[in-house]
Structure formats: C-alpha cells, structure tokens
A and B are shown apart, each in its own frame.
Chain A
Amino acid sequence: MSRVSVVIPVKDGERYLAELLDALARERADEVLVIDSGSRDRSLELVRAADGVELLEIPPHEFGHGRTRNLGAERTSGELICFLTQDATPAPGWLDAVRDAFALDERVGAVFGPHLPREQTSPMIARELEQFFAGFAGPDGGPALHGPGDEPFLSNVNAAYRRDAWEQLRFRDVPYAEDQAFGRDLLAAGWLKAYHPGAAVLHAHDYGPVEFMRRYFDEYRGLRATTGHVEAFRPLGALRTVRAETAADLRWLKQQGVPVGKRARWAARAGVHHGGRRVFSALGSRADRLPAGVRERLSLERRDDGAAPVVDPAGPAGDPPVAPPRGRAIPVRRAASDYAEAARVLRDGPAPLLDPLPGMAERERLRLALVVPPWRRGSGGHNTLFQLLSRLERRGHVCSVWLSDLHGETGNRWPAVLREEINAWFAPFEGPVYKGFDDWHGADVAMATGWQTVHPALLLGNCRARAYIVNDHEPEFFPTSTEYRLAEDSYRHGMHCIAASPWLRDLVAERYGASADAFQLGVDHAIYEPRADVTRRRDTVVYYARHSTDRRAVPIGLMALDELYRRRPDTRIVLFGTDRPPRTAFPYEHCDVLSAPQLAAVYNEATVGLCLSLTNFSLMPKEMLACGLPCVELAGVSAESIFGADGPLALAPLDPLELARTIERLLDDPAEWERRSQAGIDFVASHTWDVATDEVEAGLRHALREREALLV
C-alpha cells in the first residue's frame, strides 16, 4: 500500500483545525505536516497538541500558494502527497478512496474529490458544489479518469499527487490558482488525473455577500495570471445568468424540502450573490487595469500584486512534450435528438397503416391531421397550408393541427397560443392544435407538410393513408448536408405527394418515383385586385429582395437592377421583403416587410414587378398579376408549367443583362405592358384558394384511393 503524506498550509485556522486533525487520525494518514505562516489564534496550540503531526513555521511573507506546497512536498516522504486546506475536513473513507483512485491507472498523477457543504453553507454554494463536482464523475456517478482534452480542473482544497508527477512538474510560484496550472501541466505532460466521489471533504467558504464578491475578485485575478482566462461580461447576458442561477438555487432548495418562506428569503440573497459574482469575476480578470489602491481594497486577501502577468501562449519554458490526446468519455445524456424520428424510420420503417375500407375515399367527411413545422408571422408556406386547411374545415372535414417542433423553436408557446396565432396570422381555424404527438388519436389522412415533418408523420399509426403537401423541392434549400439528404429521403416513403405546381409534381414523380398530384396556389382576390384609387406610375420597378432566402437569387436580381439603372437612371426602384436594406450600386426606396394590403397598394402603383425563384414558383408573382402588375420571372425553372412560355409572365434567363432587358422592354413599350397586364388579370382570375382546396381535396382522396386499390 502506498505511503501517504498530508500537507496542510495554515494561517489562523483554529475553527476547523482540530476537527481536521482528528479526521486525519481516523483516516490513518502516514504522515501529517502543518505549515503555519504566522497564525495569531490557537492554531499552533492545536497542532502541537495533536499526536503525530509535524509543524513547520514560516514567516508570513514567505507564503505562496505554489511555493509553500512545494516546500511541504519536499519536507515529506510519502509516495502520495495530499494537500488539504485548513477548513477542509475529510469525510469517512477519504483516504481509501484516494488510494483507490491512484490504483485505477499507473498514469494517474493527481486525484481530487468533491467538496461537501457544511450545514451552515449557503444554498448557492451548496448547490453549486453539488452540481459542479457531479460533472466530473463517470457515467454511473463513480470514479472517472480525465486525460488530455478534458477539463484540467484541480483544487488543492482537497487533492492528492503522485510524488513522481509532482517532482516532474512542481507547482508554479503564482499568487493564486497554482492547482489549476498544475492540472493543465499534468495533462499536457501525458499524465491522467482521477476524480473519486468518495474522496470527499466537508468544506465551505461561508462568507457574507461582500466577502464572496471580493473572493471572486481574487479567484479570477489568479485565473487570469495562471491560465490567461478573461471572464466575459455582457450586462444583458449577466442578467440572464443571474436569473437562471437564482431560479436553479430555488429549485434546489425546493428539492431539499426548504419551506416557501425560507426560500423567498434566499431568493434575494442568491440574486445579490450571483450578480456580485458576475461583476467581481469580470473585474478580477481585468485587475491589471485597476489602480493599485482599488485592487487592494477589492481583494479579500488585501493583496496588490501589480498587474496580472500575461500568460505566454506558447506555455512556460521547459514545458513537457504534449502527449497524444485521449478522447473524453461522454455519457448518454440527450433527452431528444433533432432527427430521432428520421433515425427510427430508417431503422424500423414507418408505422403500419390501418387496413383500407371500401369507399373510404368517397366519404363526405374525412378526419384530416395536418403535421406542420413551427411557423413565424408571414411564413408563406404556412399561409398556403392554413388557407387550405381553413377551407377543408369549412367543407365539413374534421381537421386538426399537429406541431412537430424538432428543435424546440416554440418552447414557451402553449397550444392555445399557437392556435390563436394561426387565426391571427394566417386563416380562420376552429379545430384544435396539438403540440407534439403525445395525444395522437388517428386520422383518415395524416398530412406531412415539409421535409422535417415527414418522418414524424410516418411514425403515426392509426391512419388510413398519409399524404405529403409539397410546397417546394426542399433539398435545394441546403448545401450537401444531413438536411439535404433527409429532405431527399422524405419523398421516398410512398406518401402520396400533393405538389404546389405541375413542375413540382413532375419533379417528385420523375426523380423520386412518388405518386403525385398538383394544386395551383390561390390568390386572395379581395386584397389583390386592380385599384382605381391608386395611380399607376410609369417609372417604378418593385423587387422582392429577400436576400436571406438564397433561392431568391437576390445578388443576380440586384445586378439586373444595377444594369437597368445604368441604362435608365430615372427609374424609381423599390425593394421590399426584408428588414435589412441590401447594399446596392444604385439608389432605391426600401419598404421592409409589408402587410398584404400594403403589398397590394405597392403593386397597384408600380410599373414592373421583379420576383425570382430558383426552385418552385411562389405566390407573389400571381399576386402582382392580380393587381395588373406585369411581372418578370426566371425562365426554365417552374413558371412555364403554370403560365406557359409566353403567358402573362415575362420570363428571362438567369442573366442580369437579359433580366434588365426584359424589365426595360416592359417600361418602354406601353402596348406590351398593357397586353401583359390584362393577360395577368385574366389568367389569375380563376386561381383562387377555393380552387386550390378542390385540388388538394382531390389529392387527399387520391391518397385514400391508392390504399383502397390494395383491396383488389
């Protein structure tokens, strides 16, 4: 069994010293050395009275956290050297646990254990200690080894060192945090350190609020000196942290069974504590910028060590060579994965559908469940979905909305609030809204509505059929990535697709082999219509410049407008659809994000609309046309599938010069403008949400018929 020496630096430590020395006698330490640096209380008397304890007295000015511990290690002879502070009392079994930890691996150079709160310890510190040390334990809460790449934390309140490791590295002679520096050096030299929950000490700094703050000032000054760490300070972030920490304290107190009244009293104290900590740790990190007198007054130890030394990023001279890093063992800790549903579908396949019933596709009323991703105000895709759902509901179908929130974007919005948002932002809806699928109770058709809803919808059982309302070819939203692959995968699970254009229908059918129908996006003709009260200008181009949406090809659109401005400097250019005005080489008016009535007014005033889409055609050009505004779109993508090659839309290739030329022609040629304007109004007159709903309903019944066909 390894011989153990215990070294305890002491100054005025009488409060816990007798208890500490008794505990060491109980633990049967082989050698105990107390180094006193000028105690004026009964500490010396207590040490001298204890059996088997050696005393070494040094002048106060010779004390240094690293220096004095090196001295203690030199004056003792154990193969293992334990350092305790004068207020750390070993718990029963402490020494056995230290020995066990060193026995885990011969490369273990240092061992540390938890600090348990004493009875009078404030809850902020008690909770912090408990949670902080729990993070070092192994997955089962037991001992754990830490290697290169792990947190280098060590605390000489309660730490033990293998003499070989100490002799190789020794403590740095720094004013503070010599243990942290040693931990860093230890791992860099290829040693391991071990945490053992049984190697515990009772320890607490039960200071008052101001003393705590001053102590944090000292601690972070030391950290800056030893590791170069500078504590960030952002007022709003600090406020959030204080709030979160205080709430965590109160939760912890509740778990401990502390009564409400007492918890309320601690709430104020916790707020002061955490607020002070944020401020004083940031000040401590920047102590070198403070005047010497201020530094001294803020320090609990009344120290003024001058400016904090800057750590050499290359490390101190003579650093040992860096060992190959060892991976850190990470326990299972995810409560939910972003794509857990996709993984389940890929592993187990979709949930089985209910057996088909004859005539189910022709039933008057269907139970329809719409599975949607989280929305924001103004979301175009959601607007389409809820316009359709609202009308399906009015036709007597039993409709419900199921929010699939993979990333927790709607974390603090409860179902009734989500339901109200649908009604306020999109379309009237009388059915219920469910968040997640805990209450899933089946449907005739479960409708996925975006790539991220497909896998969750595939896991829903108790359905007669599944359908997929496809608003766009979503793999094109992503670079090569997981999202790209999962979006592609979403078309390959046999869900009947109901696509938002013939182009999109053909694409999913041909590329992915999906069965598919199409529907045409509707226009709200009560809002988007030619208005006699708005005077049409002859010099205005409006452009949907939403540069945050890559598929809108905004840089090319701006290049086209730049060319147009070069040719016609008197053209009035209006950009909208984004909060942030893009930088351009031409002057323009910026209109941010507009409401539907505002958009209709802008479309009625403008001469030419420009709206580009590199994927599926969007609603906006139709709304422009409905207001009598000729619109320029990209040729060769999806517009031809709706409007034909020479329909009401003026199509141009993805070329700034060609786009500018097409816009210019509409500005310069009144006959052409008139023809396009009238053709646009005529064309979209039949594109209503009711027609779109007819098409979607037919698609849903088609999905059911496909299931019925299996009966034959």
Chain B
Amino acid sequence: MSVTETDSEQAEIEQLRARVAALETELVEQAARTERIVAQAQERTYWLDRWHLDLNALMRKPGASQFRALLRGVRFFVRGAKKVKRTLLRGS
C-alpha cells in the first residue's frame, strides 16, 4: 500500500514538474515576443530617439493640436486642388 502511495506521489511530482516546465517554456515564449516587440519599436523610433523627439510630449504642448488641425486643413486643400487639377487635365 505504501509502495502504491509513493508511486502515486512520484507520478504527481512528475506531473507537476512537467507543468512547471511547460509554464517556464510559455514564459520564455512570452518574454521572447515582448522583447521582440520592444526591439522593433526601438528600431522604428531610432531617428526620434536620435533627435530626442518625444512626440507624445510634443503633442501635449499648448497649440500642438491646433497646429495639427492647421496642417490637416492645408493638406485637405492641397489634395482638393490636386484632385481638381487632375479632373481638369483629364477633361481636356
């Protein structure tokens, strides 16, 4: 009877070890993904970091939203003008 208990305990221990190993593998996979995402973000922000540009901080400054709206307005008109030009050229 005691042998049976020992075997079952042993089996449970092995089962738990396997579970820990699986969780550890999962953790490594998750860490790999996270580190990759951070590295990719750093790859993308190289020039911003190089020029010490924190766009979030910049856009929080007074007047930044208005400036952005102005740029969007200008872009709207430029695109509109280009569209009109294309239409006119096509018509001729």
B59 → A minimal CB distance (Å)? 15
Q: Is the CB of B24 within 8 A of A360?
A: yes
Minimal Cβ-Cβ distance residue in B for A367: B31
Q: Are A363 and B35 in contact (CB under 8 A)?
A: no
Q: How far is the CA of A420 from the CA of B39 in the complex (A)?
A: 11
Residue A433 at the chain B interface, CB threshold 8 Å: yes
Given contacts A398-B31, A414-B49, A417-B49, 9 further A-B contacts (CB under 8 A): A357-B24, A363-B21, A367-B28, A398-B28, A399-B35, A416-B42, A416-B48, A416-B50, A432-B38
Which residues of A are found within 8 Å of B25, using beta-carbon distances? 363, 365
Q: Does A306 contact B (CB under 8 A)?
A: no
Report B22-64 CB contacts with A as 1/0, cut-off 8 Å: 0011011001101110110011011011101000000000110
- A337: interface (CB < 8 Å): no
Task: Kindly state the separation between the CA atoms of A414 and B17 in the bound complex, as whole angstroms.
Answer: 42
B24 and A419 form a contact (CB under 8 A): no
Q: Is A358 an interface residue (CB 8 A)?
A: yes
Give chain A interface residues in 333-367, CB to chain B under 8 Å: 357-360, 363, 365-367
Closest to A442 in B: B31
Q: Which of B1-35 contact A (CB under 8 A)?
A: 17, 20-21, 24-25, 27-28, 31-32, 34-35
Please tell me if the beta carbons of B24 and A417 are within 8 angstroms of each other in the complex.
Answer: no
Size of the B side of the interface (Cβ < 8 Å), in residues, is 24
Are A416 and B46 touching (Cβ within 8 A)?
Answer: yes
Are A412 and B24 closer than 8 Å at their CB atoms? no
Assess whether B52 is in contact with A363, with CB atoms less than 8 Å apart: no
Query: Complex formed: what's the CA distance from A65 to B14 in Å?
Result: 93
A416 touches B52 (CB 8 A): no
Distance in Å from the Cβ of B60 to the closest Cβ of chain A? 13
| Inter-chain contacts of B35 with A (CB < 8 A) | 398-400, 431-432
A363 to B17 Cα, complex, angstroms: 13
* Given known contacts A365-B28, A416-B46, A358 and B39 CB-to-CB distance under 8 angstroms: no
Contacts of A366 in B (CB 8 A): 28
User: With the chains together, A360 CA to B24 CA distance in Å?
Assistant: 9
Contact A363:B24 (CB < 8 A) given known A260-B62, A398-B31: yes
5 residue pairs bridging A and B, Cβ less than 8 Å apart: A367-B31, A417-B50, A419-B42, A420-B50, A431-B39
Complex Cα distance, B20 from A358, in Å, reads 9
Q: What A residues does B62 contact at CB under 8 A?
A: 260
B81 to chain A, nearest CB (A): 31
Query: What's the nearest-Cβ distance from chain B to residue A523, in Å?
Result: 28
**Is A430 positioned at the interface, with any CB of B under 8 Å from its CB?**
yes
Question: A441 vs B27: C-alpha distance in the bound complex, in angstroms?
Answer: 12
Partner of B42, one of A357, A365, A415, A441: A415
- Chain B residue, CB-CB nearest to A439: B38
Q: Which of B21, B28, B46, B48 has most A Cβ within 10 Å?
A: B28
**In the assembled complex, which residues on chain B have CB atoms less than 8 Å from the CB atom of A412?**
52
For the complex, what is the distance from the CA of A243 to the CA of B39, rounded to whole Å?
A: 35
Of A260, A359, A365, A414, the contact of B21 (CB 8 Å cutoff): A359
A415 and B49 within 8 A (CB): yes
Which A residues are CB-close (under 8 A) to B52? 412, 414
> Once the chains bind, are A357 and B20 in contact (CB under 8 Å)?
yes
> Do B49 and A260 touch across chains, with their CB atoms under 8 A apart?
no
Nearest Cβ on chain A to B70's Cβ, whole angstroms: 15
Nearest chain B CB to A291's CB is how many angstroms away?
Answer: 48
Contact B20 A432 (CB under 8 A): no
Bound Cα distance A357, B62 (Å): 54
Residues of chain B lying within 8 A (CB to CB) of residue A367: 27-28, 31
Q: Write the nearest CB–CB distance from B83 to chain A, whole angstroms.
A: 35
B28 lies within 8 A of A416 (CB): no
B10: shortest Cβ distance to chain A, in Å?
13
Residues in A429-483 with C-beta less than 8 Å from chain B: 430-433, 441
Q: How far is the CB of A368 from chain B (nearest CB, A)?
A: 10
Contact B28 A419 (CB under 8 A): no
Contact: B46 with A420, CB < 8 Å? yes
Q: What residues of chain B lie closer than 8 Å to A431, measured between beta carbons?
A: 35-36, 39
Interface string of A406-427 (1 = CB under 8 A from B): 0000001011110110000000
For residue B32, give the distance in angstroms from its CB to the closest CB of chain A: 5
Say yes or no: A432-B63 contact (C-beta < 8 A), given A357-B24, A398-B31: no
A432 touches B39 (CB 8 A): yes
B42 close to A432 (CB less than 8 A): yes
Q: Which of B20, B39, B62 has the most chain A CB atoms closer than 10 A to its own CB?
A: B39
- The answer to whether A416 and B24 touch across the interface, beta carbons within 8 angstroms, is no
B24 to chain A: which residues have CB within 8 Å?
357, 360, 363
Residues of A within 8 A of B21 (CB): 359, 363
CB contacts (< 8 Å) of A358 on chain B: these are 17
The reply to whether A416 and B32 contact each other, CB–CB distance below 8 Å, is no
B32 contact set on A, CB distance < 8 A? 365, 398
Q: Which of A662-692 contact B (CB under 8 A)?
A: none
- Residues in B whose Cβ lies below 8 Å from that of A414: 49-50, 52
Determine how close the nearest CB of chain B comes to the CB of A359; give it in whole angstroms: 6
B68 to chain A, nearest CB (A): 16
CA distance A358 to B14 in the complex (A): 11
Q: Of A260, A360, A430, which is within 8 A of B39 by CB?
A: A430
Cα distance A359–B20 in the bound complex, in angstroms: 10
Q: Which residues of chain B come closer than 8 Å to A360, judged between CB atoms?
A: 24
Whether A363 touches B28, Cβ cut-off 8 Å, given contacts A416-B45, A416-B50, is yes
B55 CB to nearest chain A CB (Å): 13
Q: Which residues of A contact B63 (CB under 8 A)?
A: 260
- Chain A residues with Cβ below 8 Å from B43 are 416, 419
A362 CB to nearest B CB, Å: 10
Chain A residues whose CB sits within 8 angstroms of the CB of B36 once the complex forms? 430-431
The 6 A-B pairs with the shortest beta carbon distances in the complex, nearest first, are: A414-B49, A416-B49, A432-B38, A416-B42, A432-B39, A416-B46
- Looking at the assembled complex, report how far the CB atom of B48 sits from the nearest CB atom of chain A, in whole angstroms: 7
Bound CA–CA A456/B61 (angstroms): 36
Q: How far is the CA of A324 from the CA of B49 in the complex (A)?
A: 53
Note all chain B residues with C-beta closer than 8 A to A399. 35
Closest B residue, CB atoms, query A429: B39
Provide the bound-state CA to CA distance between A433 and B40, in Å: 11
Question: CA of A366 to CA of B31 in the docked complex: distance in angstroms?
Answer: 10
| A621 to B20 CA separation, bound complex (whole angstroms) | 47
Which of B35, B50, B52 has the largest count of A CB atoms less than 10 A from its CB?
Answer: B35
Nearest CB to that of A414 among chain B residues? Answer: B49
Q: Which residues of A contact B50 (CB under 8 A)?
A: 414, 416-417, 420
Given A357-B24, A358-B17: A419 and B31 interface contact (C-beta under 8 Å): no
In whole angstroms, what is the CA distance A1 to B36 when docked?
75
Q: Which residues of A contact B27 (CB under 8 A)?
A: 367
Please measure, in the bound complex, the distance between the C-alpha atom of A577 and the C-alpha atom of B34, giving whole angstroms. 41
A400 to B36, CA, bound (A): 10
Give Cα A143–Cα B27 distance, bound, in whole angstroms. Answer: 58
Contact of B46 among A363, A417, A430 (CB under 8 A): A417
How far is B48's CA from A400's CA once the two chains are assembled, in angstroms? 21
How far, in angstroms, from A400 to B33 measured CA to CA in the complex? 12
* B35 CB, nearest partner CB in chain A, Å: 5
CB distance from A103 to the nearest CB of B (A): 48
Query: Closest CB-CB distance, B9 to chain A, in whole Å?
Result: 16
CB contacts (< 8 Å) of B48 on chain A: these are: 416
Q: Which residues of A contact B49 (CB under 8 A)?
A: 414-417
Residue numbers in B under 8 Å from A363 (CB-CB):
21, 24-25, 28
Tell me the smallest distance from the CB of A136 to a CB of chain B, in Å. 34
